Structure 1
């Protein structure tokens, strides 16, 4: 997988021409895993009725090192949502879905994101619009998502470990989480970076990732793919015991 170039930071209210994107990760204890699995099924109906919601995906997580079932992390779950406005997102955050997760979760990380660049489709849609690429000072996020062709799965899985190892060794990486809508076949990565320069270095200059990108077109791993970058407007809470509240005030 690859992503697109992006790069001026703005106020958290956001550009009204761009969608308002939220990503929440909940961490649960082992005893709360069955409840979390139930929420993944039950929350779909709440999302269908949410005012101002343009697009949403309930996500399982993993470490993203192989993109197979052995990566799965049953103690962390996510919700990516695209909203008409910050007010719509805030209204949902005060509703039943978040309240029920609060009763289960031992920790929570809330991120508010503004698209910088996006290319490709997710479930046949362009959820992050068509933002004009721009430079951003401060932390950024990257999201890659793909539907892997069944016939290419083995080739794809063999290509993942070197790229993943290099990702986790990259300077400027603050968080990397494998995300998926299903145990196999519908997978991606969400990552947080201290700056666009650090993300660009990984995406375009480090050999394992550059080689994987070069092979994508020739091998045809994906039936559908999406790559997006975001400005991080706010971060609150923790993931796997690491707090990100000071992300926007820390120097890259």
Structure 2
């Protein structure tokens, strides 16, 4: 399959720019729906550091799934919408990715197609998890999640992570970028806090819907916190 996924993070400074970014969560849909080769997309806000559920008004994310890389390039190079995003944001970073595996559903379906052109010499791995939380379990979920994510900061293989989502508190997602699979597995299966979270998920069944997907990042454009987080694959 030639399908690729891009995720773009935007950072904004100043009240007017942050207000514009918030408004685009609604007003960007029209232009995005007209983008050639765009199969689906998700406009998302973000949470404060430490997987705090309260919004970070300075950071937003745009997840896009494309028929092929050519369609993505056309959008990023020529789209008037992207020109507006570039003008309003003070920092931008886009990661191009090929899907390795995706399990579960997002808004009723699994939008990701497994790539047939993965690079066996590329060790980097990106992960997107997404879930809709059952309202009755809302408080139990958010009481524990920040605790379960604490070991992330101690993992030297973690390149970047951010809590994102479509609806604050109820529809949440996480994005994480790792140096290799071993680092990811160390967090997932050796962290006591994360293991407890897995057990709680099974016991309490606190998701109405969930999806877990892994990607191979192969192209990194832009800067985040003053530098390209993955310069080894930049172009």
Q: Where in structure 2 are the equivalents of 1:97-108 lying within 5 Å? A: 97-108=81-92
Which residue number in structure 2 is paired with residue 51 of structure 1? 36
Shift of 1:65: 2.9
Within the alignment, does 1:38 sit opposite 2:23 as a pair? yes
Larger displacement relative to structure 2 (234-243 or 218-227): 234-243
**TM-score normalised by the chain length of structure 1:** 0.85
Shift of 1:171: 2.1
1:67-111 per-residue CA deviation (whole Å, 9 max, x = no partner) reads 522xx2111111000011111111221201110101101110010
Any stretches of 5+ residues in structure 2 without a counterpart? none
Q: 1:190 is paired with a residue of what secondary structure?
A: strand
CA contact (8 A) 2:47 2:53 kept: no
Q: Where in structure 2 are the equivalents of 1:99-248 lying within 5 Å? A: 99-130=83-114, 137-248=122-233
Which of 92, 97, 101 lines up with 2:75 in the alignment? 92
**TM-score normalised by the chain length of structure 2:** 0.91
Shift of 1:172: 0.5
Any stretches of 5+ residues in structure 1 without a counterpart? 1-16
Task: Please give the alpha-carbon distance, in whole angstroms, between the structure 2 residues aligned to 1:75 and 1:173.
Answer: 22
Which of 64, 70, 81 lines up with 1:81 in the alignment? 64
Shift of 1:223: 0.1
Task: Please give the alpha-carbon distance, in whole angstroms, between the structure 2 residues aligned to 1:150 and 1:79.
Answer: 25
Task: Give 4+ residue runs of structure 1 displaced > 6 Å after superposition.
Answer: none
Task: Please give the alpha-carbon distance, in whole angstroms, between the structure 2 residues aligned to 1:122 and 1:184.
Answer: 16
CA contact (8 A) 2:4 2:69 kept: yes
Which residue number in structure 1 is paired with residue 48 of structure 2? 63
Residue correspondences, number: 230
Q: 1:109 is paired with a residue of what secondary structure?
A: strand
Shift of 1:214: 2.1
